[in-house]
Structure 1
């Protein structure tokens, strides 16, 4: 079967070369940027496409008559394509789990520290000639509520406990074996000084933090999202940031990516942004790309 990694980039290219093995199947690599509407031209004639976070709208994909498999580099394929519609058209979407749990948890912690101490805002102000120290939130002894206790949530729970935070969690399926106090979502939102999102995105979780749930949050709490932007009602989040219900938000993911510089989120001073980079470490990328190649090897037809 003919395969292509159609949206490789300068960062992943060298890593791809590192993880290739002599017995791997031939996989073409495209490193030339293209417009979204050019997608059918790029993957025309291929049976398998490896996707590093490019949008794959159904109306474009269905023009690729030979395509049968998409290997998405990560777990959030639902943010970039309609998996059910593609399945109806005979295209199977493969995702990759667990490759970067530590990397994402570390990035979550980095965003939390940046939010708690207003680091990004002070950096901007100092570079602009203003010297205005900000009062931060001390995290030791504060309660962090994790929404989702998968691999990333579990790693972040370990890190948060390590700096002296009180960890509680909500998970749709109870996990008593983790030894973490689990509560209902209303109790978590009302009592947490920090709320960190670690849910997968699906029909049941899209818009999980809507206006009603955000209104339940402890006044002055911090929100960190390194999961998926669509888990949160963006307009409700913006209003909560303006009103002070949410003291500060640390966001790595957004409804539409890349985030428009004119977006209201990008204008608010109490938001710290990163460019969907939580999983981007050399170690995680090596594991991710190696597993993608192994999936391609395993596909028989």
Structure 2
């Protein structure tokens, strides 16, 4: 069984490399290949671990031999799942490893923007002490946290929110109950939330799910937090609302391309570079989940599967 790690592992210490090698002939590539190189590597393998490379229909059409992919991530928008299924390639992802890490980062971002921590830090470094007026914060206790999406990460966010004394509401497509979350309609979620936090995968159905019209229904005092893909939001509309005081603030772990430079220049925005998942515990749990995915596939009982081969 030939297994390749296709592209530049963020974290793969030697002891874990040896554990993966016990599953088969394991080869690791420490770069980010172009499409032709990626297709060639995948065509020489039975199974692959993929972290960075976008696997679109054109690339997958060139791949032979490969029958299994496990993504390093919980997100899966980087793979054309229909094309993978048509090629007979099973695709799995890692949905569990970062739930607590992302939930904690949600509150790191929220507290940073609601208490103006970045500006306060700069002020102290410039010599300020006991400077109050510019840094009036908003207390979380008693506020309503709205969760757009109520899956694993959202429920972890809800647990933390309750400890802060927040009321937690949420919405999902199916009306499925979620622990610690009172389900409401999307319309009521947007109108009632003091803090709106996004917890959705990026799919064709969720691209810009927060349209300009929906953003306009948020309270002017509300804060938007997004630890998912930036493309879930109409970013140009968001920038306009933040610039003109129609929204109090935003805290974002990923940006879309639209008006990104304008967004970076706003002082009511806190940004992080896609690190919501990245903790000491989560990166080790990630390797364990990848290993589990591969082992379960080799045992004939694949888990965390997003697609199955045709037939």
Please give the range of the TM-score, normalised by the shorter of the 2 chains: 0.7 to 0.9
Q: Match of 1:181?
A: 182
Tell me how many residue pairs correspond in the alignment: 295
- TM-score, length-scaled by structure 2: 0.84
Aligned to 2:170, the other structure's residue is in SS state strand
Question: Quick one: distance in 1 between partners of 2:282 and 2:208?
Answer: 28
Offset of 1:36 from its aligned partner? 6.1
Q: Match of 2:80?
A: 82
Q: Match of 2:103?
A: 105
Q: Match of 1:289?
A: 287
Question: Quick one: distance in 2 between partners of 1:138 and 1:227?
Answer: 24
- TM-score, length-scaled by structure 1: 0.86
Q: How does 1:255-270 map to 2 (within 5 A)?
A: 255=256, 263-270=261-268
Aligned to 2:12, the other structure's residue is in SS state helix
Question: Quick one: distance in 2 between partners of 1:248 and 1:19?
Answer: 46
Question: Quick one: distance in 2 between partners of 1:195 and 1:16?
Answer: 41
Q: How does 1:118-137 map to 2 (within 5 A)?
A: 118-124=116-122, 127=125, 129=126, 131=128, 133-137=134-138
Q: Runs of 5+ in structure 1 lacking a partner? A: none
Aligned to 1:146, the other structure's residue is in SS state strand
Question: Quick one: distance in 1 between partners of 2:15 and 2:199?
Answer: 28
Offset of 1:228 from its aligned partner? 2.2
Offset of 1:21 from its aligned partner? 6.5
Aligned to 1:294, the other structure's residue is in SS state helix
Q: Match of 1:4?
A: 4
Question: Quick one: distance in 1 between partners of 2:14 and 2:216?
Answer: 44
Q: Match of 2:156?
A: 155
Aligned to 1:20, the other structure's residue is in SS state helix
Task: Indicate whether 1:115 and 2:113 are aligned.
Answer: yes
Offset of 1:40 from its aligned partner? 3.2
Assess if the C-alpha contact under 8 Å between 2:2 and 2:47 holds in 1: yes
Q: Match of 1:232?
A: 233
